[in-house]
Amino acid sequence: MYFRGKALFWLPLCLLIVLFGCESNHPDSAPAGVARGEYDRDEGSPDSSDESIAPQRPIVLGFSQLGTESDWRNANSLSVKEAAKEAGIELLFENAEQSQEKQFEAIRGFIDKKVDLIAVAPVVQSGWDDILKEAQLAGIPVIIVDRAVDILDASQYVTLIGSDFYEEGRKAGKYLLDKMANSPGPVGIVELKGTAGSTPSIDRGRGFHDTIGEQSKFRVLKSEYVDFTHERGREVMRSLLQELGEEIQVLYSHNDDMALGAIEAIEEYGLRPGKDMIIISVDGTRKALEKMVQGKINCVVECNPLLGPNLMQAVNELMEGRTLPKRIVTPETVFTEVTAEREVHNRKY
Ligand code: AHR
């Protein structure tokens, strides 16, 4: 009687443990809305009759990269590819060559292939609502990398991993305030902006203007969109020098590639970059640090492109069902002539 009573108590409990225990320990367990078993591939197919011997398939991540405009971008792509390999994550990589339309196509392709997750480095901030809705309806989580998206419903992406571009602009502005502390002014500045509508361009501009705006001696003579490329940096700086000549005392460039192009134009014009004109840039590529060591760039605000390991960690955590913070900011520094000399040899990009 006692034994029967005990059995009646334990039997349902054991059944519960078996049912729920099996589910949470399943190797293919995925967060809510992630249809991991549906990805159309041979190995590890969920149709496999004996799950205990079926190989566990890797997580599949679709990544839409915005382009190849700069050394920063190429380092970023390499970092994502290497980190995926290291983490055993299968990466479907698409380069959109600066076209938002191509990013939409890539995302639709990832949805068709039923990938586990999608990551996007968005070329511009606006226009993402509809495509992110499509991914959400397909139950595929989206991680935003590097640049932000300006959307109405923030639940359409899981997290944004990347730099604080506004803070980068503020750091550039603070450097200039210190550097020109003893100058009565006026101080003539030209600004080479990146891609129109992109987060780094918008926020680096705002951060810089908000900071130098505290003092009326600073005058931004011209502000031009230059698409983050070396070639356009040279071209635009040439024409700015033709127009404004030695009125330009400071160049603020939103990235290193444009600054390096502009330096060529400044030297062609017969001025000494870093001496006759203060050069402030953003990124911290090896080529820019080399120029700093030569005294041709005065300040570089770091923007870290090595986001691959952070991205893969986020992917793994998400697939394990964990919750991520809405914003993951990468720590960054400011290089001056002294620190550049120490860092230049360690720079991989
Ligand atoms: O979004 C990051 C920016 O994009 C980098 O500063 C720039 O070099 C790149 O092209």
The binding-site residues of ligand 1, defined as CB within 6 angstroms of any ligand atom, are: 69-70, 72-73, 146-147, 200, 228, 255, 282-283, 303
DSSP state of 273: B
Q: How far is CA 279 from the centre of its chain?
A: 24
CA dihedral 39, 43, 44, 49 (to 10 degrees): 110
Residue 274 contacts residue 296 (beta carbons within 8 Å): yes
What's the 200 CA to ligand 1 centre distance in angstroms?
7
d(CA 337, CA 30): 48
Residue with tokens 């600073």: 218
Q: Could you give the domains of the chain?
A: 60-163+306-331 (3.40.50.2300), 165-303 (3.40.50.2300)
pLDDT of residue 282: 98
Residue with tokens 């203060």: 278
Bond before 186 cis per omega within 30 degrees: yes
Residue 282 CA, closest ligand 1 atom number: 6
Element (H, E) at 281: strand 278-283
d(CA 5, CA 264): 89
d(CA 121, CA 128): 12
**What are the backbone angles phi and psi of residue 283, rounded to the nearest 5°?**
135, -70
Residue 200 contacts residue 194 (beta carbons within 8 Å): yes
Q: Which amino acid is at 67?
A: G
What's the 82 CA to ligand 1 centre distance in angstroms?
19
* pTM, 2 dp: 0.85
Closest CA to 72 of 287, 225, 232: 287
How many residues are there in the chain?
Answer: 349
Best residue for ligand 1 mutational test, from 69, 73, 166, 202 (most atoms within 8 Å of Cβ): 73
What's the 4 CA to ligand 1 centre distance in angstroms?
71
Residue with tokens 């039923």: 114
What's the 255 CA to ligand 1 centre distance in angstroms?
6
What's the 229 CA to ligand 1 centre distance in angstroms?
10
Best residue for ligand 1 mutational test, from 283, 287, 307 (most atoms within 8 Å of Cβ): 283
Element (H, E) at 187: strand 187-193
Average pLDDT by stretches of 10, the chain with 349 residues:
40 36 35 39 42 74 98 98 98 98 98 98 98 98 98 97 98 97 96 98 98 94 97 98 97 98 98 98 97 97 98 97 96 91 91
Residue 147 CA, closest ligand 1 atom number: 1
pLDDT of residue 7: 40
